[in-house]
Amino acid sequence: MIFQYFALVVAGFIGGFFGSAVGSAGLVSLPVLLFFGLSPHAAIGTSRPAAAVLELFSALRYRQQKVLTDALIRRGLFLGVAGAVGSTIGALLIVAVSDQTLRLLLALVILSMAVFIFMKKNWGMTEHPDRQRHIVLLALATLLSGLYAGFFGFTFGTVITIVFAGFGYTLLQGAAMGRVVGTLTSIASSIIFMSHGYVNIPYAVALSIGFAIGGWFGARYAVKGGNRYVKILLIAVIACSVVKLLFDYFVQ
């Protein structure tokens, strides 16, 4: 049992380190939780409160590094409400429906995003305030991203970073603001999963410790590396996410 807790702390640190910048920490934590015998629903549910800790500690670090400004916090909290609504709906749906089709569609969508990001060398490198004015569209996109977060969670941070960059924020700004939104969406979905008994508390605590430490140091490194580091990491995480989604689709 001690080994399992230790393994979750280590997995949390690794996932939290890159997850603080581009999300998808679940690429590391979910396979470990499944390996330890949790059902898919319980693995996703257990990762949700831990993800809230990761998002919160990463956001605090970005704040300390002066990337997460007052304006980004206010915008993030506003969009977080929309994301939390979507996340709640997604968490309610996952306990009742099959998600195989969604896995395939999402794999195709984010693969297209990866190709676009790779082709557009300056994408996400500079800020475009004119795009940031479309707050209603951005709120809708965040709600839909939150819906997905309620279903799977593990690539929400990746998707929301891409969404924010598409609406005129730099990748680093998107990563920082995404952590604010992610905190609210993770809390919302955690409540649903806990009410259905899908959260293993001891495992969630161990994972939270790893996520907190990894997120704290990972956010600092992301700020140091800048937008180019975040972009490279984003492409790598997207590639891994597509592989996992397609694997789950064809194997399950």
Mean pLDDT of 57-64: 96
3-state class of 175 per DSSP? helix
On the question of pLDDT at 183 being above 60, the answer is yes
DSSP state letter for 126 = S
Torsions phi, psi for 8 (to 5 deg): -70, -35
Q: How do residues 199-209 score in pLDDT, each as one tens digit?
A: 999 999 999 99
User: Which residue matches tokens 């194997």?
Assistant: 251
Residue bearing the bigger pLDDT, 146 or 70: 70
C-beta separation of 220 from 120 below 8 A = no
pLDDT, residue 73, reads: 96
The pLDDT mean for the chain works out to 86
pLDDT, residue 80, reads: 92
pLDDT, residue 152, reads: 63
On the question of pLDDT at 109 being above 70, the answer is no
Pick left, alpha or beta for residue 63 (phi over 0 → left; psi -120 to 50 → alpha; otherwise beta): alpha
What are the b/e assignments for 22-48, b being 16+ CB within 10 Å? bbbbbbbbbebbeebebebebbbbbbb
CA atoms 65, 68, 70, 71: torsion sign:
positive
Mean pLDDT of 204-226: 95
Identity of the amino acid at 21? A
Whole-model pTM: value is 0.85
Counting residues of the chain whose pLDDT is more than 70, the rounded percentage is: 89
The whole-angstrom separation of Cα 8 and Cα 162 is 28
pLDDT band at 98 (very low <50, low <70, confident <90, very high): low
On the question of pLDDT at 67 being above 80, the answer is yes
pLDDT band at 228 (very low <50, low <70, confident <90, very high): confident
C-beta separation of 29 from 182 below 8 A = no
On the question of pLDDT at 7 being above 70, the answer is yes
Positions of E strands within the chain: none
Q: Total domain count for the chain?
A: 1
Q: How do residues 13-34 score in pLDDT, each as one tens digit?
A: 999 998 898 887 888 888 899 8
Q: How do residues 170-182 score in pLDDT, each as one tens digit?
A: 999 999 999 999 9
Comparing C-alpha atoms, which of 45, 57, 49, 51 is closest to residue 24?
A: 51
pLDDT, residue 153, reads: 60
On the question of pLDDT at 135 being above 80, the answer is yes
Q: Which domain holds residue 243?
A: 2-251
pLDDT, residue 94, reads: 67
| Other beta carbons within 10 Å of 196 | 14
Token pair listed for 29: 């934590």
